[in-house]
Each structure stands twice: as structure tokens, then as C-alpha cells.
Chain A
Amino acid sequence: MKLLLEKAHIEGIHHYEVYRKNGGYSSVEKALKMAPEDIVEEVKKSGLRGRGGAGFPTGMKWSFLAKPEGVPRHLVCNADESEPGTFKDRYLMEFLPHLFIEGMIISSFALGSNTSYIYIRGEYAWIPDILEKAIAEAKENGWLGKNIKGTGFDCEIYVQRGGGAYICGEETALIESLEGKRGNPRIKPPFPAVQGLWMRPTVVNNVETIAAIGPIITMGGEEYAKLGVGRSTGTKLISACGNINKPGVYEIDFNLSVEEFIYSDEYCGGIPNGKKMKACIPGGSSVPIVPTNLLLHESNGNKRLMNYESLSEGGFQTGTMLGSGGFIVLDEDQCVVRHTMSLARFYNHESCGQCSPCREGTGWMYKILKNIEYGKGKMEDIDLLWDIQRRIEGNTICPLGDAAAWPVAAAIRHFRDEFEWHVLHPEEAQTRNFGLAHYADALSPVV
């Protein structure tokens, strides 16, 4: 079922007239006739969970918003999509800007935010123009500005470009950056719902979360909740990349199996060149990498499904996370050590440097991994890496520390033999990759 990308194929859908002709802005019309509290209630009923990675229920987040008298509230949209492997928000903003703006208007109305912001990552250089054009069109047609459609509700949406820092995707760092400061995450509490942007109550939501608000209002929260499985309701955008035949952004139902997603022609279309799949990171670079045999089946033998619960089944021992939906597939030719090194380098580069475990630990892990990859590693280094990630995880201000620690932990947990092979055969490791070993492809018999 397609909710978000339903109209994506229509020619010229990024223009207001075309979008309006195809039923656009009807959800705003409906929402403006509702009481703001009812919209929040509807979102609560829908069971929508934050699509940015953490999966926190959106309705609950909205209901936490403090509402002190006389203090303005803000809605901030987190479009700082910087997670390696994740590019779903870019697709939404680039091709369906009005769907996104529609969600922004409804959310602003529900939360009582008269000034809302879209914080977009600096590397998406061409998208702010698309969004600003969409905002201008919406304003011309009376969906934004003063006294929207006679409801007495005023709303302005501003687009702010970031400077290209991954850390500014963390909500409090984003707020700091939006205020014009250095993008350091704040220490919580206080949470943004109480003291956020300019110390005012603020809700920070992902682009996809906000885009889903329109369909929820149109079809009703209860109907939306019927889609999906258990606590994973609605649909999810997955940005698939890596060694697959058809990389791209797909909208999936939560009852789709991982196996079908990878191998069916409707989605990724299998692994190219007749290779076998070795491992996968299903939710963007910071979630644990899992080998194929653990990815395709849960511990009880059932097929693993593409949803929050099923992917995290088994904890970090055998499971992983849905995260932000950046689906990265590695085939048998890929080197897990090199891959982990590359991620460690990314987190080292993107650490804000505020708290010591992340600032020092990420650099240390990167240097050790670089040694192992280039044939200078020692056996003790693998245990040392484990020890470092263990002491970073959970001890930092923001989740970047966890995000840096998990990929390393998972790589060692599942692919230790590959690390050891690198240490034992430094010369050979420079000329060929470790290969599949026991991480069997699902389509070949699993031992």
C-alpha cells in the first residue's frame, strides 16, 4: 500500500496546481476544521512512530509539549538527513514537496506553532529552493501566512540550511545550530518539549514523520493503525543501496519479509552478478550489521519482517534495528573490516568533541581499525576495540556515541573470524577479501 509515494509518479506533482488537482491539501482543509487537540489525538491513535531512527511514538511526543501561557511554541522539522545509507527524506522533499509542506501546516496547527522551521542539511544544496518555492505557492493560495483560511491561525515556515554536520541531526544539536550556535548537543533534561528552540517548547520531527501526518488525517488514525503489524503502523520508506540490482527509495508495508524485499523484482531485485549476500545494515550506518543467516530469520525460525519489532528481535545478539531505513546490502566481495573502518572514520570525523568518550574513543577505534585493515593489527587489538566501544556506549551525552559503538560491536560480534584473518594473514588481506565464510546466503542451504 502506498501512502506517501502514491502520487510520486504524476508528472509535475511538485507544482502546486498539479498537486491540488490530484487531491492535495484536502487533508489541511479537513484538519483546519478539527480542534488541534483532536489532531494530536488522531496521531496518537494512528500509532505513528518517529521515522528518524529512534521510533518514538509521535503522538506521545506531541502530547508532551509544554503549553505555558504566552510562550510561543515551535515545530522544527529535522531534514538534516546525514546518516550514511539514508536518503528517503531527500526523495520526499525533492519530488513531493507539497506533501511535506501539507504535513508541516497540519502539524503546526495541531501544536500551535506559528513559526515553524525546516532545518535541512547543507549538502542538499538544491532542495531548499524546491521547498521555498512550494512554501511560496502554498502561501499564495492561502495555506500559510496570516489567518489561514479564516481559522485565525497564523503560520510561517522557514527553511534553514545546515552547515553539513552529522551531529546537527541530533535534535538538541539541531536546535543549537538553528539558534546560530555551535552544534553541540544539549544535556537532557530539559527536553525540547519543555525548553527547546530559544528555550521555548519545541517539537522536532523527521521529514517522513511529518509527511505521514497528511495521510493520517485524510484516512483517520484508526484506519492508519490497521496498516502494518503490531506497534509498527502505517508504511515506511526504505532507501536501499549497496550490492543490489535496484537501489532506490521504496515504500513498504511492515509485513513485508526481508527476504522478499531483497530478492523480489518489485523491490531490490536481488544481488547483482550472481553474487551471494554476506551481510546487511538494515537501518542506516549506526545500527548493528548482521550476517545474512541472522537477517533473514528470527531466532524461532520465522521469516524476519521489515518492521521495528521483528528486526530488533533477539536484541543485539542476533538482531538489529529498523532505524531510519537506510538499507545497505553487502555482497560476498565486501570486506567487513574495511567497511567498519570506513564507518569508524565517519563517526570520528562527525563527533562534535563535546564529551570525552566519543571525542577520544571514536578516533582511537578508527586508528586501530585502520591498523587491522592495513595488515598492522594485533590479536589484542580486537579485544581492545571491544573494550573501547563498550565504554563509549551509553556513557555519552547524545546517541552519537552509541551510534559509533554499535557498528564496531556488531562487526566484532558477528565477524570476528574476519578480523582475526586480517591479523593472521596481513599480506593476503591486502590482496583479496575474506569472502563469505559461514555467512550463508539465504537461497543456498543454511547450515
Chain B
Amino acid sequence: MSEQQLFKVTIDNITIEVAPGTSILEAARKVGGAVAPPTMCYYSKLEGSGGKCRTCLVEVSKGSEKDPRPMPKLVASCRTTVMDGMEVKNITSEKVPDARAGVTEFLLLNHPLDCPVCDQAGECHLQDLGYEHGREGTRTEFPRRTFAPEDIGPYIQLHMNRCILCYRCVYTAEQLTEKREHGVLDRGDHSRISTCIQNALDNEFIGNVIDVCPVGALTDKTFRFKNRVWFTKPLEAHRNCSNPKCCGEVRLWMRGAEVFRVTARKDEWGEVATASNGTTGWICNECRFEKKETKDWVIEGPSNINRHSVIAQGHYAGTVGSAGKSEKLIDKVIGKEPLYTLDIHQVSEVNQPNVHLDRIAGPAHSDDFKQ
């Protein structure tokens, strides 16, 4: 088989051609929209990640052209490679929504309901997943699992109670830093992310674990309780970072003229985007934690967040709710209308895009939006 030969794969009745070795998930992301399964642990930029959270389960109704038998179980699309002629059912499957609802329930089972005080709220993947696939109420009546607080250094706040054990931060430390200082200790439902005996995470790239964390388990201490992410507005900016491995291309989260936090730029899947020099846009700790003045940065302009989440509402540019929505999808996906994630304006009166938050004195109040 020559290298150029492409595999035909049909996902939710949409056929595309992808290179051999592509995972079902990557193929589905090429189709885009609701066809792409949600992911909590898979991170395309981290080698070896995925397969753990089980939210991306899909049904393979036809294995390949050569062996058309369907796969007996649902498979993790992030770690299953496509075969020629494979037919995959994601949102058109009968079984997948049930399994995904189950996984969502399991992930939320011991997750604390502290979204109101969680810094990740608004850009949290688990919130999005819960909104799409979760139940209205909980069926558990047991106290949630808790862990003793642990200090892992001056920059990163670890909230182990919120962790869903995606292992992304472990892979990040493994692949970005010279020496991994944290990992998973213990077993089963008491496994926890921890450093060995109260170590502080100290490496110039370790701040990236904050960006890869899908939930609020690892958050930025310099931003902690300073503001809600949907009140801050994102700007693309860059600086000439002295660190050769840092691309220096960041996203500033501002309110008025104040820089509240600095993160890497993220793509529509919530992953760190590819930088202009072609490498993954990881940023160093200096850029992330130390440079909190506008004069440190060359501002390129407003960011266009095309991931569906609450933060997508906080734009300067008016792209609210339009990203990723392609009309042709609805025609093609037979029998089911694709489900789009949270459009906050359908459910809430607050945070209307036409109200400029930076013109409101003090914390925003619901009255400010009702005018």
C-alpha cells in the first residue's frame, strides 16, 4: 500500500478521506461540528494521551471494507485508527448517547459542585459535557470523595477534589519538562495527582498543565479569585521571549486595561493551538505568570474564540454562536439534528454581548443586563 493512499471513512453518514493511521476522533474532527465526539482526556498535542475518560466512545457499525463485521463493543474513538471503508456512528447511534450519559454521570459523581467559586467555570470542558450529556439531577446520595489540600508551589493551585484523572498534566510534564515531578499516586477512586512528598512543581514550562487541565483541578494562582473568565475579554498578543523553546504567542485576558491572566492560545477543541512557527504554542512560566502588564506585550487584536463554551461569549468581535455551525450538516445527518453546545443567551439573561462589561463600574449585576 502506498503512503498516499487515503482511507474512506463514513462518520454519521458523512464520508471523508483521511490518511491511514488517523484516529476516528481526528477524522470526526475533520468533519467538525457535533460529529466530533467530546473529549476529556485525549489531547492531540500530547503523545499517548486518550482512552481513559471514555466520553469519546463511538459505535463502529462496519469494521472495514475487507472485514465488514461491526465491532462488538463501543470503542474509544481517540485511540482507534480508521480502516478503509469503516462506518462509524456517533450522534446517529442508539447506544452512544446512553454510554456517554453514563460516563458523564460517572465523571460528575464525585466532582464537587463548586462551579460558582471555581476559576475554570466558563471554560470548563466538564461543564460543557454535563450540559450536553448530563442528567438534570444526581442519583447519588453519598458524600463526595475529598482529598486533603496540597500545596504544589507558588504558581499552580491543585484542587484534587475536582480532578477527573485525565492524566493530561502527567503527559505534559513528561513531554515538556526535563523531569516530571508529579504523577498519579494510589489506586482506584482514591488515585490522586500529587508530587512525591510535598514537592513544588518547578519547571519553566510546567505552567502549561493549567492549560491542558479540562477541569478546575489545576488553576493559575496569580489569577485565583480575581475575576470570572466570562467577564474578561481575550486579546491575542506576543512578545519576544528570551526562552528559545517558548513561542511567546499568548492570549491575554483583560478587563479594561488590566491584564488578569495570560494563557496559551487555544483552538476550537480547547487545545493549545499551533504557533506561527509551526510548533505547538506552549508558553513558558515567565510569559504566563510574570508579564501582567500591557506594556510587556505587542497586542495583535481581539481573539476569536471558536470553541463553544461560556467564554465564547466574551468576545470583542461578534462571532457569538456562529462558530462551527455549518448548515449542510443538518441536511446530511439523517434523522437527527446536530446538537450544539451551550449558547448562554438561550438560557440566561445575563452577560449579553451588547453590554460592555468594561463600562460597568464594579461587579456586574443582573440589572445591568436588563436595561
A residues at B contact (CB < 8 Å): 165, 167, 182, 187, 348-357, 359-364, 367, 384, 390-392, 394-397
B107 touches A353 (CB 8 A): no
A363 touches B164 (CB 8 A): no
A356-B103, A395-B99, A395-B103 known; A362+B188 contact, CB < 8 A: yes
B142 within 8 A of A: yes
Q: Top 3 nearest A-B pairs by Cβ distance? A: A391-B102, A353-B191, A187-B51
A357 touches B102 (CB 8 A): yes
B328 within 8 A of A: no
B52 touches A165 (CB 8 A): no
The segment from B71-79, B256-264, B265-273, B311-319 that touches chain A is B71-79
Q: Which of B5-44 contact A (CB under 8 A)?
A: none
B189 interface neighbour in A362, A394, A395, Cβ under 8 Å:
A362
B54 interface neighbour in A350, A353, A390, A395, Cβ under 8 Å:
A395
Residues in A whose Cβ lies below 8 Å from that of B189 = 348, 351, 353, 359-360, 362-363
B165 touches A361 (CB 8 A): no
Q: In the assembly, what is the distance between CA of A390 and CA of B105, in Å?
A: 13
Which chain B residue shows the least CB distance to A363? B189
A394 touches B73 (CB 8 A): yes
A357 interface neighbour in B98, B106, B190, Cβ under 8 Å:
B106
Residue from A187, A392, A396 having most chain B Cβ neighbours under 10 A: A187
A359 touches B191 (CB 8 A): yes
A356-B107, A359-B165, A360-B110 known; A182+B52 contact, CB < 8 A: no
A357 touches B52 (CB 8 A): no
Which chain B residue shows the least CB distance to A182? B184
Q: In the assembly, what is the distance between CA of A364 and CA of B145, in Å?
A: 11
Q: In the assembly, what is the distance between CA of A354 and CA of B48, in Å?
A: 14
Residues in A whose Cβ lies below 8 Å from that of B73 = 394-395
Q: In the assembly, what is the distance between CA of A357 and CA of B57, in Å?
A: 12
A367 touches B142 (CB 8 A): yes
CB distance from B339 to the nearest CB of A (A): 20
B354 within 8 A of A: no
Q: In the assembly, what is the distance between CA of A394 and CA of B54, in Å?
A: 11
Q: Which of B207-222 contact A (CB under 8 A)?
A: none
A356-B54, A367-B142 known; A391+B99 contact, CB < 8 A: yes
Residues in A whose Cβ lies below 8 Å from that of B165 = 353-354, 356, 359
Residues in A whose Cβ lies below 8 Å from that of B187 = 165, 167, 349-353
Which chain A residue shows the least CB distance to B142? A367
B139 touches A384 (CB 8 A): yes
A364 touches B51 (CB 8 A): no
A395-B57, A395-B99, A396-B54 known; A348+B188 contact, CB < 8 A: yes
Q: In the assembly, what is the distance between CA of A186 and CA of B17, in Å?
A: 29
Q: In the assembly, what is the distance between CA of A86 and CA of B36, in Å?
A: 44
Residues in B whose Cβ lies below 8 Å from that of A352 = 187-188, 191
Q: In the assembly, what is the distance between CA of A354 and CA of B102, in Å?
A: 16
Which chain B residue shows the least CB distance to A185? B51
CB distance from B167 to the nearest CB of A (A): 8
B52 touches A397 (CB 8 A): yes
Given contacts A349-B187, A355-B54, A360-B110, 9 further A-B contacts (CB under 8 A): A351-B188, A353-B191, A357-B54, A357-B102, A359-B189, A359-B191, A384-B139, A390-B102, A395-B73
CB distance from B76 to the nearest CB of A (A): 7
Residues in A whose Cβ lies below 8 Å from that of B79 = 187
Which chain A residue shows the least CB distance to B186? A353
Residues in B whose Cβ lies below 8 Å from that of A390 = 102
CB distance from A364 to the nearest CB of B (A): 6
B102 touches A360 (CB 8 A): no
Counting contact residues on chain B (CB < 8 A from A), the size range is: 20 to 34
Residues in B whose Cβ lies below 8 Å from that of A353 = 165, 184, 186-191
A357 touches B103 (CB 8 A): yes
Q: In the assembly, what is the distance between CA of A397 and CA of B164, in Å?
A: 16
CB distance from B162 to the nearest CB of A (A): 14
B51 touches A395 (CB 8 A): no
B2 within 8 A of A: no
B53 within 8 A of A: yes
B46 within 8 A of A: no
Residue from B99, B107, B145, B187 having most chain A Cβ neighbours under 10 A: B187
Residue from B52, B57, B99, B145 having most chain A Cβ neighbours under 10 A: B52
Residues in A whose Cβ lies below 8 Å from that of B107 = 356, 360
Q: In the assembly, what is the distance between CA of A414 and CA of B190, in Å?
A: 32
Residues in A whose Cβ lies below 8 Å from that of B346 = none
A356 touches B53 (CB 8 A): yes
For this complex, 23 residue pairs linking A to B, each with C-beta atoms less than 8 Å apart, are A165-B187, A182-B183, A182-B184, A349-B188, A351-B187, A352-B187, A352-B191, A353-B186, A355-B53, A356-B107, A359-B106, A359-B188, A361-B106, A362-B188, A363-B145, A363-B188, A363-B189, A364-B140, A392-B102, A394-B73, A395-B54, A395-B57, A395-B102
B200 within 8 A of A: no
Which chain A residue shows the least CB distance to B143? A367
Residues in B whose Cβ lies below 8 Å from that of A394 = 73-74
Residues in B whose Cβ lies below 8 Å from that of A367 = 142
B99 touches A360 (CB 8 A): no
Residues in B whose Cβ lies below 8 Å from that of A357 = 54, 102-103, 106
Residues in B whose Cβ lies below 8 Å from that of A391 = 98-99, 102-103, 105-106
Q: In the assembly, what is the distance between CA of A67 and CA of B44, in Å?
A: 31
B109 touches A360 (CB 8 A): yes
Residues in B whose Cβ lies below 8 Å from that of A356 = 52-54, 103, 106-107, 164-165
Residues in B whose Cβ lies below 8 Å from that of A359 = 106, 165, 188-189, 191
Residues in A whose Cβ lies below 8 Å from that of B57 = 395
A360 touches B184 (CB 8 A): no
CB distance from A343 to the nearest CB of B (A): 15
Q: In the assembly, what is the distance between CA of A348 and CA of B110, in Å?
A: 14
Q: Which of B138-171 contact A (CB under 8 A)?
A: 139-140, 142, 145, 164-165, 167
Q: In the assembly, what is the distance between CA of A396 and CA of B189, in Å?
A: 15
Which chain A residue shows the least CB distance to B104? A356
Residue from A167, A182, A359, A384 having most chain B Cβ neighbours under 10 A: A359
CB distance from A144 to the nearest CB of B (A): 35
CB distance from A380 to the nearest CB of B (A): 8
Q: In the assembly, what is the distance between CA of A398 and CA of B46, in Å?
A: 22
CB distance from A26 to the nearest CB of B (A): 43
A364 touches B103 (CB 8 A): no
Q: Which of B187-234 contact A (CB under 8 A)?
A: 187-191
Q: In the assembly, what is the distance between CA of A351 and CA of B186, in Å?
A: 11
Residues in A whose Cβ lies below 8 Å from that of B183 = 182
A395 touches B188 (CB 8 A): no
Which chain B residue shows the least CB distance to A188? B79
A395 interface neighbour in B50, B74, B190, Cβ under 8 Å:
B74
Residues in A whose Cβ lies below 8 Å from that of B102 = 357, 390-392, 395
Residues in B whose Cβ lies below 8 Å from that of A354 = 52, 165, 167
CB distance from A413 to the nearest CB of B (A): 19
